[in-house]
Homo-oligomer: A and B are copies of this chain.
Amino acid sequence: MADYQAPLEDMRFLLHDVFRLPDQWADMPELAEMSGDLADAILEEGGKVCAQVFAPINRSGDEIGCQWHDGDVTTPEGFKEAWKTFADAGWVGLGGAPEFGGQGVPKGLTVLFEEMQYATNSSLALYSVLTAGACLTLNAHGSEALKNTYLPPMYEGRWTGTMCLTEPHAGTDLGIIRTKAEPLDDNAYAISGTKIFITGGEHDLTENIVHLVLAKLPDAPPGPKGISLFVVPKYHVGEDGSAGERNAVHCGSIEHKMGIKASSTAVLNFDGATGYLVGEAHKGLGYMFTMMNYERLSIGLQGTGQADWSYQQALAYAKDRVQSRAADKSLRTGEAADPIIVHPDVRRMLLTQKAWVEAGRALAVYLGGQLDAVKYHPDTAIQERAAGRVALLTPVAKAFFTDRGLDCTVLAQQVFGGHGYVREWGMEQAVRDARIAQIYEGTNGIQAMDLIGRKVLANKGEWLQQFFADIRMDLEAVSSDRHRQKDDLVRVMTSVEDHVGRWLKSDDANLAGTQAYNLMELVGYVAYGWLWLRMASNDQAGQGKADTAGFYFAWLWPQVDTLVRRMECDSQAFMAPGL
């Protein structure tokens, strides 16, 4: 197995040259202390901790898995020590609020650190990423008392966080959850119900686990507007902030899964567990979306990270594995066979991975920068425009990154031939681990519905038009020798706008659902096309960027012709056939 190389050069190119995030940080008082040098240092150290602490226990973690015994969960050998090393160095609170002990590092930077965590050990990464997401929600919506109690130990990585949404009968459809919250004295509530698929719901890494739980109060209106959010710690927290007696929440079992086997996926039984209301009653789903939007981008990064790890392995293997002579016999005469990287079909697979990984990373940094603008920018007009951009692109990032993540891990495995199907090289684990990212945190189909429904049609396509307008403006700076690619990008954007205009006038109730996935993919291809032109046109871009941009437009971009043609379908295409 090839060692993981943190893609620092590409990351620096994106931060400094393509998106110039240090300039953006300088405009925001709360990020003024972040410098480009500091960012580079953080990435370099972050890359080291991933390569040296996360990566070495990734395969053994898969083989051993989490073990459940009588309500307790044991993580695989080495995970406890790795977590301690990671937490003690302050990485869990990297993006956290400084007033409660976080490092206050902007999202434009932490996305890259998350990518590296997922690349090297997705199971271990989840404990950290969910904790960061839970902190974000608490910080945004919790009382000062809750923040003071929970945020410091969570940022320190002494406690971890979870999000408890799904119930056996309610996954996508949270409006029908049954978990109840009964008021007690003292602003507390008794939480009762069963939650399933709770990532990190039980484990032995930390002294306490802080569950964020969706439940319904006795007076809750039906449906999604009757959901409240509660903090339910595994151990009650004493006056001094220490974890004390056990709360009435227990792990009934953990799932046996296709992958991410070192991440525990728990069934949690809440039997009148003490919980504390976050924010106002009945507004829990909105609060949870604060967490979900971050987690959705984060899960997207799992796709990119695992794709990059797999790509690194496949590239090294293709340079090393010798099999068959090159078609152009002059390449390496005198030997019985050439390294397989000389074969065009192997290069097709490698270049596809490279093009997906680097564009995905670029879109993540862009989106991270937009999230920072929403949170920190002093100009409210910029803030608002960025909020629309984040809303629009979050479901695309989640779904498109993770679909490409599976594609890339499968292609990388394919480069290994039969050796990719056996455990030895780790390629099959990457496929199994990457697969979940298309499912959890809202399936990719749900992301696509979110995009077309809430993010495009609900506001008459305004956010989409703003995005495309910005792309058109950007394209003016792209040199004229790429005019064919520019023109084609504009053609596709115009076609999407036309069809969205048509859909807005339609009374076909199932049209949105019919076009949802197609639109998500179109926005993904357009965004990547824009980013490839932007990257390749940058003054600091090396030949590699121009090469890969060329490959993207020659080989991957033509997929838009299919997607554009599909926009002509109405819902009869799916609703009419009997099933």
Contact = CB atoms under 8 A, between A and B. Distances in A.
Interface in A532-579: 543-544, 547-548, 550-551, 554-555, 558-559, 561-562, 565-566, 569, 571, 573-579
A559 B562 contact: yes
Most chain B CB neighbours (cut-off 10 Å) among A197, A345, A406, A554 = A345
A42 B410 CA distance: 37
A554 B562 CA distance: 11
A195 interface: no
B418 A510 contact: no
Contacts of A336: 175-176
B573 A551 contact: yes
A445 B219 CA distance: 61
Interface stretch (A14-22, A179-187, A421-429): A421-429
Contacts of A307: none
Interface residues of A, number: 91
A513 B255 contact: no
A516 interface: yes
A345 B569 contact: no
Interface string A163-191: 00010011111011000000000000000
A558 B566 contact: yes
Contact of A414 (B173, B256, B257, B444): B444
B431 A417 contact: no
A467 B565 CA distance: 27
A301 interface: no
A347 B172 contact: no
Contacts of A354: 579
Interface in A128-168: 166
A439 interface: yes
A374 interface: no
A431 B406 CA distance: 12
- The 6 A-B pairs with the shortest beta carbon distances in the complex, nearest first, are A344-B513, A547-B577, A258-B428, A561-B561, A558-B565, A328-B509
A406 B435 CA distance: 12
B256 A423 contact: yes
A289 interface: no
A364 interface: no
Contacts of A509: 327-329
Contacts of A443: 414, 417
A447 to B, nearest CB: 10
B414 A324 contact: no
Given A171-B418, A421-B439, 20 more contacts: A172-B323, A172-B324, A197-B418, A258-B423, A329-B509, A344-B516, A345-B514, A346-B445, A351-B579, A406-B410, A410-B435, A431-B435, A432-B432, A547-B577, A547-B578, A551-B574, A555-B573, A555-B574, A561-B562, A561-B565
